[in-house]
Structure formats: structure tokens, C-alpha cells
Amino acid sequence: MAGKKTTDKLMDIAKNVSEAAKPYVEKAEPYIEMAKEKAEPVIDEVKEKGGPVLKDVIEKAEPVIKEVKKRAEPATKVIKEQGEKAADVVKAATRDITESNAKKNAKVEFFIQYKDYEVRTEDIAQIIREKYVSEGHKISDIKELQIYLKPEENTAYYVVNHTDTGKFTY
């Protein structure tokens, strides 16, 4: 969304610059045309005089170019094969990263419904974290949190870092 706003702003700026430059461009057009007219005979003369020289250079270079291509062919083949292998590795890695990110970034909401209650598991986890902090611990101390939900008792039992235990009734 932010990219679109930036693009729109840049387009507006470009339009404003274009409009501001218009009078100067119009003033310069006759000079540009005059320069083209004066340059045309010179360009034709260069083409006329340079054509045979260029043709001679191409004829003399052609056998050298063929020899270079011939000698470079094995290396070119190896480079192409290695490039294809590298491209395959990059594609596979990209695919793995994309799938991994999709799994991590997928939003999941988990609800428990039992009799007249409906609770979201993330809400229970958050309340347990807050309760743990209110007991004098730091939130950063929580490395692992196991929650055991007993809907029939409306209670969540928990273990923090395999040592601290407690329960929460909802």
C-alpha cells in the first residue's frame, strides 16, 4: 500500500517537472532541428568513408572470432551446465524458504467450545503469561509453556520451563 502512494507521488512530481520544462523544450526544438540538419551531411560522409574500413575490419576479425568461439566452446558448455545447476539449487532453496514462511506466517486461531463456553487458546496462553509475570517473573524468562486444558473443570493447568506450575480457572 505504501509503495503505491510513493509511486503516485513520484508520478505527480514527474508530471509537474514535465509541465515546468515544456516551455524550455519548445524553445530548444528549433536548435535541435538545426543541429540535426547540420550534422546530417557529416554523418553521411562518415558512413561513406567508414563503410569500407568497417567492412575490412569485419572481414579480418571474422576468422579470429570463429577461433575464439571454437576454443571457448568447452568452457562455455561447462559454465552453462554449472549455471543451470546453480539455478536449480536457487529455485529449490527459494521454494523451501517460501513454503517455510507460508507455514510460519499462516494465521491460526484455535477455539475450544465446551457446553456454554468458548475460549480461544491464545487468550488462555496470554492470561497465563500475565499471571506468571504478576508473580514476580519476567516475560523473557518464559522459554517453554505447556498448557493442559480441562474443559469439564473450566481450568487450564500450566507448566513454565518444566519447573513452575500453576492453574487458571476461566
Q: What is the pLDDT of residues 80-121, one digit of tens each?
A: 888 888 888 888 777 777 777 666 667 778 888 888 888 899
pLDDT tens track for 5-28: 677 777 778 788 878 878 877 888
Coil, strand or helix at 159:
strand
Angstrom distance (rounded) from CA 158 to CA 125 = 9
pLDDT tens track for 25-63: 788 888 888 888 888 888 888 888 888 888 888 888 888
Q: What is the rounded end-to-end Cα distance, in angstroms, of the chain?
A: 40
Sign of CA dihedral 31, 34, 40, 41: negative
pLDDT band at residue 157, thresholds of 50, 70 and 90?
Answer: very high
Angstrom distance (rounded) from CA 14 to CA 84 = 41
pTM beyond 0.75: the answer is no
Q: CA angle, 57 as apex, 55 and 63 as ends, to 5°? A: 105
Cell numbers standing for residue 107: 494465521
